[in-house]
Amino acid sequence: MAVYLDNNATAPVRPEVKAKVIEAMDVLGNPASVHAGGRASRGVIEAARVDVATLVAVKPPSITFTSGGTESNALALQSAVMAGMERIIVGATEHAAVSENARARGPAVEVWPVDANGVADLNWLSDALKKPGRAVVCLMAANNETGVIQPVAEASALVRAAEGWLHVDAVGAIGKMDVDFNAMGADTMALVSHKLGGPFGVGALAAGPRSKIARVIHGGGQEQGRRGGAENVSGIAGFGVAARLAKQGLPAIAAQAAWRDHLQARLEAVGSVALGATVPRLPQTLGIAHQGYEAVLQVMSLDLAGIMISAGPACASGKLTPSATVAAMGHGHLADSAIRISGGWASTQDDWTRCGDVWLDAYAKFDARRKVA
């Protein structure tokens, strides 16, 4: 039986989500229409908006539905620049959905360094914000490769004191830790459906009162005038269900920390290095490296045995390249041997145990061949 431990790339679609998507497909009417069918379709969207808003503790009007996390990040950055932010500061371990969109916005991107655990350097940020020009600062809630949780609230205090704009990519954090938009002090926050067990192609941008969302996609004034185009009604319906179930399932996800730690100890016993292991991490994420044992070999060996993991972010067109995140942490010697193991709503303790069994068997064979050579 296949074991899926690549939930930070995407999670299996929940049965309840599938049922809701099909149900929503049977609702006849454009949500912009005023007749009964249109009102029913609008009701589906607004019910989902409540569930997504509840997931991150905001009011429903704060939510703008998008096509996914990348669009949400792009919309936030474009809005910040159009609102007068003159500088862009991006964390060194941010996902390409943030860093690449930042580079496309106009102002030069300033890279905010992290320490050896992958935690953003707040002293650096404090000094950077003293320079001329208001800045939009990008800091993910938790790293998708290592699980390291960032000091978002502390960064927010610095950004607000400098009259800047804090954008938080929470795509990898929602459903795996409690995410409170206001407690974090975010101005905008990117969310996505498919990492919660919802459908692909649906995301959202949460926005606070200090931010003004610019309309980038023009059209019929949908999404409270923030994003033109007919909404993806069935996808949004599925997102709502996934968001509600993800919030309910946080205690079960938290329990996976013990399974992760057990696997970590087994791999460390043969010389592997856990990344960010001394700071708070997502409970179901293990970033680990073994110098000299290339990530591509690890992923392939496990895949042949029916174990699905990854070597870094999934949005690299299927390529396995050395981890930029690990390099930014100062561990360049481990960048090409780092893998990510990530559980989700459907993962079991047996999945984590089997992953360890297979990895250790594959490593033993690799090590034997290396010694002979």
Q: Tell me: the pLDDT tens digits for 271-280?
A: 999 999 999 9
CATH no. of 15-248 = 3.40.640.10
Note the Cα 213 to chain centre separation in Å.
Answer: 21
Residue 115: CA count within 13 A, CB half-sphere:
16
Which has the higher per-residue pLDDT, 293 or 216? 293
298-307 mean pLDDT: 97
CA dist list (Å): 292 to 57, 96, 271: 44, 26, 11
What's the confidence (pLDDT) of residue 317? 40
For residues 312 and 185, the model is more confident at 185
Least-confidence region, from 42-51, 199-208, 307-316: 307-316
Give yes or no for a contact between 73 and 167, defined as CB atoms under 8 angstroms apart: yes
At 68, is the pLDDT very low, low, confident or very high (cuts 50, 70, 90)? very high
**How far apart are alpha carbons 2 and 259 in whole angstroms?**
18
pLDDT of residue 59: 98
* Residues in CB range of 175: below 8 A, 6 or more apart: 11, 55, 195, 196, 197, 242, 243, 246, 247, 249, 250, 253, 345
Least confident interval from 15-19, 223-227, 300-304 = 223-227
pLDDT of residue 372: 83
Note if 355 is an active site residue.
no
Pick the more confident residue, 49 or 102.
49
25, pLDDT greater than 50 = yes
pLDDT score recorded for residue 271? 98
> How far is 46 from 198, CA to CA, in rounded Å?
17
Q: State the catalytic residue, choosing from 27, 83, 315, 346.
A: 315
Architecture of the domain made up of 3-11+251-372: Alpha-Beta Complex (3.90)
What integer pLDDT is reported at residue 320 of this predicted model? 64
Q: What is the pLDDT of residue 218?
A: 87
Chain mean pLDDT for the chain: 95
Query: Residue 142, Cα to own-chain centre: how many angstroms?
Result: 7
Q: Region 134-146: what's the mean pLDDT?
A: 97
Q: How many CB atoms lie within 10 A of CB 29?
A: 18
Over pLDDT 90: what percentage of the chain? 89
Cα–Cα distance for residue pair 229/67, rounded to 1 Å: 11
Domain ranges for the chain, please list them.
3-11+251-372, 15-248
Per-residue confidence (pLDDT) for residue 319, from 0 to 100: 55
